[in-house]
Amino acid sequence: MNMKNQIIGIVGAGAMGSGIAQVAAMAGHKVVLFDNNPGSLEKAQTSLHTNIHKLQEKGKISNAAEIFQSISFTSKIEDFAPCKLIIEAIIEQLEVKKAVFAEIEKQVQDDCALATNTSSLSVTALAASCRLPERFIGLHFFNPPPLMALVEVIPAIQTDPKITDASVALMQSWGKTPVQAKDTPGFIVNRVARPFYGEALRIYEEGIADIATIDYAMTHLGGFRMGPFALMDYIGHDVNYVVTETVFRSFFHDPRYKPSFSQKRLLEAGWLGRKSGKGFYDYSPDATVPQPDTNPEKCQMILDRILAMLINEAIDALYLGIAQESDLEIAMTKGVNYPKGLIQWCKEWGASKCLAVLDDLYRTYHEDRYRASALLRKMADEEKK
């Protein structure tokens, strides 16, 4: 199956949907951008016109008008009829998405592939609601789609392998870096990255270190571009907390993914982070910037604890066949800009050291949260031999 040069349909004219539409149009496709809210369509039309013409002003493209004209904006779902791929990018609610795909299937031909941009829902469950589940796949773009190279390609258990291969080839033709993941909660990035937030929150809630100190340890010692609290505020707690809660629930309440009351309270207060002006940090102009405790021993302890949890999560994903090692490494460096792949980090740091940190935490807390992956134990044993 070849999706190249075909008409692409996008459901949802929000930031993700319009961003994906821009990517497809710039790759030479005609695009049908659908939304049942006229206001959203109008906003998307304005922002896409601005963004595409800015690229021409910067000399990155020379055909802005042609690209923009290749996108049609519509509130009529029947306009999807000629499309060969539809990508849905709407609210993260299973029943809403199912209803939308039921309507789409009435409009398109049987050879039209259907894709969801979900970041946390079951692709298999969505596929099961379709008349032809074998044509369904997950294509998880990262925000903003025109700038972020990574796309997680997630076949449902019903997906025809030809659809998977065609999707990977299409993403490559769009200049994206596709990685393939098994359909499990959080896929690669949202699963493996959970300890970056969760363990930082645990350290903060226990009073071991304050927010500024934890962020300092991860950026200055770890080389991460943003600390976990600054990043949660940047993403928004309405997004980050909900993903954590969804992953926790989807993993049958595995304590490794347990949400935090501190973050939940911010969400309940409407303190969503940068977008609301307040989250873990205060973003008002006259706010005092908190200063970290730069004690080297404390900062090293913070980094070791969070890093050990991250490495363990990546190695366990490899052990359980969630993705190949190369895809796991690419996903974390290109999807969330980690300074290096976590499995490579483990090899440099030493599996024995990582295991020692986890086992020490387990002895302290006696919580399954700190259980080491069987593969990490095996790596540590081989290291000793």
Q: Which residues are catalytic?
A: 119, 140, 152, 190
Beta strands in 199-283 (DSSP E): none
Phi, psi of 71 (to 5 degrees): -100, 125
Which bin fits 358, alpha (ψ -120 to 50), beta or left (φ > 0)? alpha
Going by C-alpha positions, the residue among 357, 250, 380, 374 that lies closest to residue 306 is 357
Token output for 280: 């873990």
Chain centre to alpha carbon of residue 379: 28
Helix (H) or strand (E) holding 190: helix 189-192
379: number of CA atoms within 13 Å, CB side? 24
Q: Are 259 and 248 in contact (CB under 8 A)?
A: yes
Phi, psi of 375 (to 5 degrees): -70, -35
In one-letter notation, the amino acid at residue 33 is: L
Going by C-alpha positions, the residue among 1, 29, 162 that lies closest to residue 87 is 29
Compute the Cα dihedral for 214, 215, 220, 221 and give only its sign.
Answer: positive
CB within 8 A of 96, min separation 6: which ones? 90
Q: Are 273 and 232 in contact (CB under 8 A)?
A: yes
Q: Is the peptide bond before 144 cis (omega within 30 degrees of 0)?
A: yes
Residue 131: CB atoms within 10 Å: 10
Going by C-alpha positions, the residue among 236, 375, 380, 263 that lies closest to residue 319 is 375
What Cα–Cα distance (Å) separates residue 327 from each residue in 215, 330, 374?
27, 5, 20
How many residues are given for the chain? 385
Question: CA-to-CA distance for 140 and 87, rounded, in angstroms?
Answer: 10
Q: Are 239 and 190 in contact (CB under 8 A)?
A: no
